[in-house]
């Protein structure tokens, strides 16, 4: 199993690198957004209210694994489910495999 770094915005362990430049699969955060004046805290509020802005209808059609991942992540973020790291990991891996096609 990969050791993942925690995303500053959604605070889920989604990142394979910790350099800050890998966009989070769940919320789309990366550190370049700091240059636009956005903070992880502000982005997190938007995320909790509106869901991930980086996930489009096209994503849903082309990558059902991504939608499953987002649905689970949002349910954890909203406190409906406890974080199960093994489940999150398997959803992240399914999403990464789906992107290879
Ligand atoms: Zn994130």
In the chain, what are the domain boundaries?
5-99
**58-91 tens-digit pLDDT:** 777 788 999 999 999 999 999 999 999 999 999 9
- The pair of structure tokens assigned to 52 is 């991930």
Residue 15 binned pLDDT confidence (cut-offs 50, 70, 90): very high
pTM above 0.85, yes or no: yes
CA–centroid distance, residue 7 to ligand 1 (Å): 5
Cβ contact 95:65 at 8 Å: yes
Q: Which residues contact 99 (CB under 8 A, 6 or more apart)?
A: 63
CA–centroid distance, residue 28 to ligand 1 (Å): 6
What is the rounded distance in angstroms from the CA atom of residue 65 to the CA atom of residue 81?
19
Residues with CB under 5 A from ligand 1 (ion): 7, 9-10, 24, 26-27, 29
CA–centroid distance, residue 89 to ligand 1 (Å): 14
- The pair of structure tokens assigned to 71 is 């649905």
Residue 7 binned pLDDT confidence (cut-offs 50, 70, 90): very high
């Amino acid at each position: 199993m990969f050791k993942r770094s925690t995303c500053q915005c959604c605070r889920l362990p989604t990142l394979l690198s910790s350099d800050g430049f890998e966009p989070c699969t769940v919320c789309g955060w990366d550190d370049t957004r700091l240059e636009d004046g956005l903070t992880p805290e502000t982005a997190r509020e938007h995320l909790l209210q509106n869901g991930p802005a980086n996930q489009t209808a096209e994503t849903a059609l082309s990558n059902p694994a991504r939608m499953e991942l987002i649905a689970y992540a949002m349910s954890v973020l909203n406190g409906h489910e406890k974080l199960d790291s093994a489940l999150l990991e398997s959803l992240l891996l399914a999403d990464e495999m789906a992107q290879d096609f």
